[in-house]
Amino acid sequence: MIDNNNNKDLVSSPDEEKREAKVVIELRDVKRYFQVGSETVKALRGISFKIYEGEFVTIQGTSGSGKSTLLNQLGCLDTPTSGEYYLDGVPVRKMSKNQRAHLRNRKIGFVFQNYNLLAKTTAVENVELPLMYNSKYTAKQRREAAIKALQAVGLGDRLEHKSNQMSGGQMQRVAIARALVNDPTILLADEATGNLDTRTSFEMLVLFQKLHAEGHTIIFVTHNPEIAEYSSRNINLRDGRIREDTLNPHIKSAAEALAALPKTQDD
Amino acid sequence: MNILNLLKVSINAVASNKMRSFLSMLGIIIGVAAVIAMMSIGQGSKESIRKELSAMGTNLLTIRPGADQGPGGVRQDPSAMQTLKAADYERILAEKKFVQYVSPEVSASGQVVYGNSNTSASIYGETPEYLDIKQWTVEEGVCFTEEDIHKSAKVCVIGTTIVSELFGDNVDPLGKTIRFKSIPLRVVGVLKSKGYNSWGMDQDNVIIAPYTCVMKRIAAQTYFSSIICSALTEELSDNAIEELTQILRQSHKIKDESGDSDDFTIRSQAEMMQTMSSTMDTVTLILGIAAGFSLLIAGIGIMNIMLVSVTERTKEIGLRMAVGATGLVISVQFLIESIIISVTGGIFGVLLGIGASNFVLPIFGMPSSVPSWSIFLSFGVCVAIGIIFGYIPARKAANMDPIEAIRHE
């Protein structure tokens, strides 16, 4: 195993205040309670952390640990009951729905477990989608950006393929291209390998590591502890609290893991 | 997101669900086509009645006995229907300035016999001027003369239906004697055929004879059924009515200051046409409203489909929201979709309606003429339907929670 040392000196310690890298995400004692009937479900019981530009963070936990709720907070899909969340310096808690929609459009790239591509729509059109909601882009610029993003995920030759003509891995690549197309501050992946077989999962990890190496900030939410071995930092959740927040000094190479996989019969 | 992008997205959504879009359009198509066809029947009937009435002479004036009752008025004393007398006719002849032709009319119906053929017909006692007023011509033979009137001569001119019913094809009716209620009448002329009028009446099933003859020998009465006149020109109709009113009031000794109402009614053809067209407008309106209800139902159909579509596309809505679509943008997208469906349906509906009006209705002998305003009206209604019935589904989509929507299965 060869360590991926590219960002090693940037991520010496997660709690250290003095760093050269910019803070892109800061949570201060974020709590999220839900009222279910007469009971209050405490999904997040006070979460605080910072994520710096260029980190590849896995947020890992079992179901019920609060990781989905945390993902919704990070993705500006929801607001905290109390505490503060700053995305790229912008306080999110008091934002209106529309302001958050705008913020998501400019600063966040989502990758979902089940790809969420538009049916019967070509790869390029799917990738263009976030830019459709950004009036700064002309149709031509939109298309150029979408093609660039698709090339970045290795689908430069499948621009006009429709979503129903693609394999799971290809669909997830399109979804990643869609997340990249608006040049987001953070790439937010929700169980992005959850629906894929082992080989394709590793292919995705290779892609994420490549994007990480190119300087993207990635937050990867997963229940799978194995994935943490390929990220630069792992935040482990349990019962709505951070159980562990560790830097990974020995980042595994997904490319090597992929090469080491036994060849399968299917293509 | 600009409106052009939204339009593109909406068109894609409608196009990617062709069958469903078509089915929800179908209601609009049929509704709009029905409205247009109904409007076209109304307009067509109005035009054909107008044409017919003006063919009778737009300067026609009819004096009827009895006060103007308006539609559905109380029934009058039968004696009130006997107010038009020979003296009135003579006075009109003597004093007329704006009136061109005058003909008293006495009518009766009954059986007419020739040899062993018979048929039922109406007989009208007139003066020869009647044919001028009604713009009618004698095709064969001649009309009876002033002298015949003077002598109450037993002569007549007959319509082509009477000719074919009584004489068949091989007998020349001129000079033959027919019997109406046992009174022998010698045929001196045959009228040019006018065909059926729009009420389905055979205008050729008539016998026209000197009014004196019909009055004395057939109807046995001393009063006229009506007096038919024509104004010098259509524009002078009002002057002619004024003139006739004055003459008849004097003749009937109705004083202006006494406040007594006239015991006669004068109607002009222009007035008739107005009455007819307002009646037809009402009929058209009723037909239109009936067809309009089908549009309403079509609108509800669109709403139904759109609601299903919103539910089905929950995930898509969630995704769009996640990547930055605001509730407003989502609702506009769905509104545009429903407007596309309703307006596209409207376009096809208009085409179908025009097609039906021009090619199908004539087959069934229905008069039709598509009024251009009905096309614009239909378009307006379609857009309105799209907005009104698209609103609830659009709001439903806009109010979705992106977190739940995106994980919706």
Question: B292 and B187 in one domain?
Answer: no
Q: Does A130 touch chain B (CB under 8 A)?
A: yes
User: Which residue of chain B comes nearest to A130, CA vs CA?
Assistant: B323
Q: Do B322 and A104 touch (CB under 8 A)?
A: yes
Q: Determine, yes or no, domain membership for B84.
A: no
- Per CB-CB distance under 8 Å, the chain B contacts of A96 are none
Neighbours of B282 (CB within 10 A): 11
Q: Do B322 and A77 touch (CB under 8 A)?
A: yes
pLDDT at A5 over 50: no
Domains for chain A: give ranges and CATH numbers: 21-258 (3.40.50.300)
**Tens-digit pLDDT profile for residues A150-186:** 999 999 999 999 988 899 999 999 999 999 999 999 9
- Per CB-CB distance under 8 Å, the chain A contacts of B319 are 112, 116, 118, 129
Question: B291 and B188 in one domain?
Answer: no
Q: Determine, yes or no, domain membership for B268.
A: no
Q: Determine, yes or no, domain membership for B247.
A: no
Question: B219 and B136 in one domain?
Answer: yes
Total number of domains in chain B: 2
pLDDT level of residue B374 (50, 70, 90 thresholds): confident
Domain-terminating residue out of B231, B260, B293: B231
Question: B280 and B218 in one domain?
Answer: no
Domain-terminating residue out of B177, B209, B231: B231
Q: Determine, yes or no, domain membership for B216.
A: yes
Q: Do A77 and B315 touch (CB under 8 A)?
A: no
Q: Determine, yes or no, domain membership for B391.
A: yes
pTM for the whole structure? 0.70
Question: B138 and B46 in one domain?
Answer: no
Dist CA A157 CA A128 (whole Å)? 16
Q: Determine, yes or no, domain membership for B12.
A: yes
Question: B219 and B109 in one domain?
Answer: yes
Among chain B, residues having any CB pair with chain A shorter than 8 Å are 1-2, 5, 9, 12, 16, 315-316, 318-329, 402-403, 406
Q: Determine, yes or no, domain membership for B400.
A: yes
**Tens-digit pLDDT profile for residues B250-271:** 888 887 666 667 788 888 887 7
Question: B128 and B41 in one domain?
Answer: no
pLDDT at A114 over 90: no
Question: B211 and B135 in one domain?
Answer: yes
Q: Do B12 and A121 touch (CB under 8 A)?
A: yes
**Tens-digit pLDDT profile for residues B200-231:** 778 889 999 999 999 998 888 889 989 999 88
Q: Determine, yes or no, domain membership for B58.
A: no
Question: B132 and B39 in one domain?
Answer: no
- The mean pLDDT value for A44-56 works out to 94
Give A84-89 contacts, CB < 8 A, sequence gap 24+: A84/A26, A84/A27, A84/A28, A84/A29, A84/A30, A85/A25, A85/A26, A85/A27, A85/A28, A85/A30, A86/A23, A86/A25, A86/A26, A86/A28, A87/A24, A87/A25, A87/A185, A87/A186, A88/A24, A88/A25, A88/A185, A89/A23
Total beta-carbon pairs less than 8 A apart between chain A and chain B: 60
Question: B279 and B218 in one domain?
Answer: no
Q: Which domain holds residue B341?
A: 3-52+275-406
Domain-terminating residue out of B199, B231, B263: B231
Average pLDDT for chain B:
86
Question: How far off is chain B from A195, nearest CA to CA, in Å?
Answer: 14
Q: Do B326 and A116 touch (CB under 8 A)?
A: no
Q: Does A233 touch chain B (CB under 8 A)?
A: no
Q: Does A243 touch chain B (CB under 8 A)?
A: no
Out of B9, B16, B325, name the one closest to residue A101 (CB): B325
Neighbours of B9 (CB within 10 A): 22
